Amino acid sequence: MFASILIFLLVLSVLVLAHEFGHFWVARKNGIWVEEFGFGLPPRVFGKKIGETIYSINLFPFGGFVRLHGENNEEEIEDPKRAFLGKSKKVRFAVIIAGVVMNFLLAVFAFAIIYSFSGIPRDTALVKVIDIASGSPAQSGGVVVGDIVKKVDGIEVKSVDGFIKRVEEKKGKRIEIEIENEKKIKLTPRENPPEGEGPLGVVISTTEIYFPPVWQRPFYGIYYGFKDALFWGKTVILGFGSMLTNLFRGVVPQDVAGPVGIFAVTSEAAKIGVLALINFIGILSVNLAILNILPFPALDGGRLLFIFIEKTIGRKVLPKVEAIIHSIGMIVLLLLLLAITAHDIRRLIAAGSISGFIENIIR
């Protein structure tokens, strides 16, 4: 358990520090005084001043922050030229969006590592049998793992969808499958196969894993890592959309997980191996990027919203008013976090184990 907690804190630290470093780096590049770079949420447990910035560790390890000079209150500004509020909308936008960009880049980097070590997928246009269910028509007919299907009832197939379509059309009827070595097998696809199995009981794929030269792998990894980050970003956005829709309908989402849920999944990923854990970090990083861009007070998206309001009305919202709104948003987020955590703990106790808890989340 102690090792799991350390891994969880390490994963959380990587995500938060990457996000906050984005804010920190862009702020410094634009001449803004960074007063504090904090891991976790206040109150402060430990802090050390290096140069002009305090680097702190705070009590609640569920986030982080960068405190910029003149970020919320014009009256407290000591150095107007280095104050956040004194910078242009363009600079403030860049500082705020930098955290989201860093989380997205972290996800790309994590996925790139996976592809660099696990190989690059490519489509072969060859329908290959990669698994066969016990007692299935395919096993009875003599199909073996590794067979490449060329034709179904005389019609050439070059894709998974094409193969499935031909077999589905012939359920309950005798068909002939031609294998690459000119072997022909006659089978009858089941009309009502067992759950999780198809009519023939085969798992097929047109994808193979290949390993390009070592010097090329990082480039391939970044390309496919970028595609994976976009895929997970789309998935997360659709998930948020579905959750909000259900909330408006009065349905409380059951598959939302908080820190306890993330801890459970992190522990299980770590048991599988380092690559599984890195892959999970990539997925979490995309989630964090999307979450932070939401236009809710205290989140990066909420701060961006005030910049858009300023651009629309032609003047700034009073910093004190904005600060109060963000403070209220933070309180709401903390209460929501506590509620989700309590719900996670109840589900974990009811499940009786971490693996059972994760199965409940997935369902």
Average pLDDT by consecutive 10-residue portion of the chain (363 residues)? 78 89 95 91 89 90 82 78 90 95 96 92 86 87 87 87 87 87 84 85 87 89 93 85 72 65 79 90 92 89 91 84 86 82 73 61 55
What pLDDT score was predicted for residue 222? Answer: 93
Gap between the Cα atoms of 322 and 229, Å rounded: 32
Structure tokens at 265: 């999944």
* Degrees, nearest 5: CA angle 121-126-132: 90
What pLDDT score was predicted for residue 114? Answer: 94
Q: What are phi and psi of 120, to 5 degrees?
A: -105, 130
What pLDDT score was predicted for residue 251? Answer: 62
Residues forming CATH 2.30.42.10 domain(s) in the chain: 121-210
Q: Specify the pTM.
A: 0.81
What pLDDT score was predicted for residue 198? Answer: 86
Q: What one-letter code names the amino acid at 202?
A: V
Gap between the Cα atoms of 219 and 263, Å rounded: 32
| CATH class of the domain at 121-210 | mainly beta
Structure tokens at 306: 């005030």
**Residues taking part in catalysis:** 20
Contact 39, 64 (CB under 8 A): yes
